[in-house]
Structure 1
C-alpha cells in the first residue's frame, strides 16, 4: 500500500471515532476546565473537531509559522454548539480528503516545516508530520476530551475498544 492510500484509509477510520467524541460534547460548558492550567472544554472540543482538517493544510503548503499573522485563520476558536463543531469536522475532512486524493507519493515524502516566529521547530517528511502532528496528536487530544466528558457526567464513546458506557 502506498502512503496516499494509507492516509486516506486512516482518515476514514478517524472520522468516525472523532465524530463519536464530538457528538458527546455538552453544550453550554465551553468555559469549563478541570484545572486552572487545562484547556477550556470549548477550545479542546474545537481543536479535536478541526485537527483532521490540518491534513489539507499540510499537503497543500510547505510550512506553517504560528508566529506569522498570515496563520491567523489556522488558529482554533471555540464553537457555540455541537452542530458548529460537527460542521467544522465535516468541512475539514472534505478538504483533507480532496487534498490527499490530489497528492502524490513523492509529495508526501517531501519535508514540511512547523515554525514559531520564523524559527523552525520541526522539519520532517510530510508523511511523518501527518502521522505525528495530526493522527497521534489527535488521539492525544481526543483522549483528553473523553476525560472532560467523563468529568461532566457524559457517556464516553467506545473508540478503539470497549467503553464502560457502551459495553458492560
Structure 2
C-alpha cells in the first residue's frame, strides 16, 4: 500500500471520530476550562476541527514558521457554533484529501520543518510529520475534548472503543 492510500484511509477514520466529538461539543461554553492552565473549550474544539487540514499544509509547503507574521492566519481561533466547527472540519478534510491524492510517494519522503521561537522544533520526512504532528496529535486533543465533554455533562462518543454513553 502506498503512503498516500494509507493516509487517505486514516483521514477518513479520524475525520469520522472527530465529527462525533465535535457534534457533542456544547455551544456557548467557548471560554470554559477545567483548570486555569488548560486550553479553553472553544479553542480545543476548533483545534480538533482544523487539524486534518494540516495534512495539506505539510504537503504543499516545506515548513511552518510560526514566527513569520504571514502565518498569523494559521493560528487556530474559536468559532461560535457546532455548524462552524463542522464546516472547518469538512474544509480541512477536503483540502487534505485533495493534497494527498495529488502527491507522490517521493514527495512524502522529503523533509518538512516546524519552526518557532527562532529554532526548528521538528524536522522529519513528511510522512513522519503527518503521522506524528497530525494524526497522533489529533487523537491526543480529541481525547482531551472528550474529557471536556464529560465535565460539561455532554455524552461522550465511542471512538476507539465504547464509552460509558455509547456502545458500538
| TM-score, scaled to structure 1 | 0.98
1:40 match: 40
How far the C-alpha of 1:117 sits from its partner, in A, is 3.8
Distance in 2 (CA, whole Å) between partners of 1:117 and 1:33 is 26
Decide whether the 8 Å contact of 1:46 with 1:77 is kept in 2: yes
Q: Give structure 1 regions of 4+ aligned residues with deviation exceeding 3 angstroms.
A: none
Question: Within 5 A, what are the aligned runs for 1:104-115?
Answer: 104-115=104-115
1:144 match: 144
Distance in 2 (CA, whole Å) between partners of 1:10 and 1:48 is 15
How far the C-alpha of 1:67 sits from its partner, in A, is 1.1
Question: Within 5 A, what are the aligned runs for 1:9-158?
Answer: 9-158=9-158
Distance in 1 (CA, whole Å) between partners of 2:97 and 2:118 is 29
Distance in 2 (CA, whole Å) between partners of 1:167 and 1:20 is 13
Q: Deviations over 1:102-136 (max 9, x none)?
A: 00000000000000144111110000000000000
Distance in 2 (CA, whole Å) between partners of 1:17 and 1:42 is 18
2:159 match: 159
Distance in 1 (CA, whole Å) between partners of 2:105 and 2:84 is 34
Provide structure 2 residue ranges, at least 5 long, that are not aligned to the other structure: none
| TM-score, scaled to structure 2 | 0.98
Distance in 1 (CA, whole Å) between partners of 2:15 and 2:120 is 30
Provide structure 1 residue ranges, at least 5 long, that are not aligned to the other structure: none
Distance in 1 (CA, whole Å) between partners of 2:15 and 2:26 is 19
How many equivalent residue pairs?
168
